Amino acid sequence: MPDADKSSQVDSKNYAVDIPMKTSGFFLKGSSHLNWGMKNRLARIFNPESGRTVMLAFDHGYIMGPTTGLERIDLVVPPLIPHVNCLMCTRGALRSCISPEVDKPIVMRCSTGATVLKDLSNEVIGVTLEEALALNAAAVTAQACIGAEFEKESLINLSYLINEGARVGMPVLGVTAVGKEMVRDARYLGLACRVIAELGVHFVKTYYCESGFEEVVAGCPVPVVIAGGKKLPESEALVMAYKAVDQGALGVDMGRNIFGADDPVAMAQAVGAVVHKNEKPKNAFELYNDLKKK
């Protein structure tokens, strides 16, 4: 118990009356009116200095099984952790392969119910908010399959996360999954991003598109990060990351183009230089090659 404050004289206290208390804003697009817990979690995912993030996605196994480059999560992911801002994964991968001493925020994949052997849009929610909280997640995620057969169900999944997340201050990342029958153009991606932002997700993961990406980002009132997609040559993946942040994305949520690189640790650092320091792709590729030699 603290000692009682024996000073009854107001003038022995210092209220610094000449210094007005700062009313701070919040650095993330569309997030100013969220509550403290949401903001605190988002400020762990996005670096408040650069306003951006490098998320490492390694949730592929939940639909694809042992994905190329990710056959051994326990060997591949830990060396990458110091070089990224955030980890996006399933609870199974987290519990079995990631040390609880890790100090990076976790974005928890909560949807399930489909694999590459069947219709990927036919998902349900498999992880409750209580479980995500118990695992100390900083955000939860599921995908929206706009235009796919189970579009409605995928939006119900996201709604569940948004509604339950609102009770406990947990932000939701909405992923715009693009089915084989869809075209990854600005019209489609712009529609998908906007639909889930209006539904209430706190940030959006989508794909980069060569034409009109700036409009996709402008039409989405919350932060957008890009997925890496299929493995590209390292130089091309760095160009894509550069163009995306240059056109308004607030970072990447990249998997195969990091863990599938010739040198994943060097690639994570090169992507970080692009995202946080606006490094030009040519310089970032030189950095990649220098780090790779070491």
In the set 148, 170, 227, 268, which binds ligand 5RP (CB under 6 A)?
227
177 near ligand 5RP, judged by CB under 6 A: yes
Contact between residue 199 and residue 155 where contact means Cβ atoms under 8 Å apart: yes
> What tokens does 182 get?
């869809």
d(CA 204, CA 224): 5
Catalytic positions are 205
**Binding segment (CB under 6 A) for ligand 5RP, from list 72-80, 154-162, 224-232, 279-287:** 224-232
**Binding segment (CB under 6 A) for ligand 5RP, from list 28-36, 153-161, 227-235, 236-244:** 227-235
255 near ligand 5RP, judged by CB under 6 A: yes
190 near ligand 5RP, judged by CB under 6 A: no
The CA-atom distances, in angstroms, between 165 and each of 82, 131, 147, 159, 273 are 28, 12, 25, 9, 32
Count of C-beta atoms within a 10 Å radius of residue 203? 30
Contact between residue 141 and residue 106 where contact means Cβ atoms under 8 Å apart: no
**Binding segment (CB under 6 A) for ligand 5RP, from list 5-13, 57-65, 161-169, 179-187:** 57-65
Nearer to ligand 5RP, 34 or 110 (CB): 110
Helices 264-277 and 281-293, axial angle in degrees (round to 10): 150
d(CA 189, CA 201): 15
- Least distance to ligand 5RP from the beta carbon of 114, Å? 11
d(CA 200, CA 76): 34
Residues in contact with ligand 5RP, shown as a per-residue x/- string from 82 to 121 under the rule CB under 6 A: ------x---------------------------------
Residues that bind ligand 5RP (CB under 6 A): 57, 59-60, 88, 143, 175, 177, 227-229, 254-257
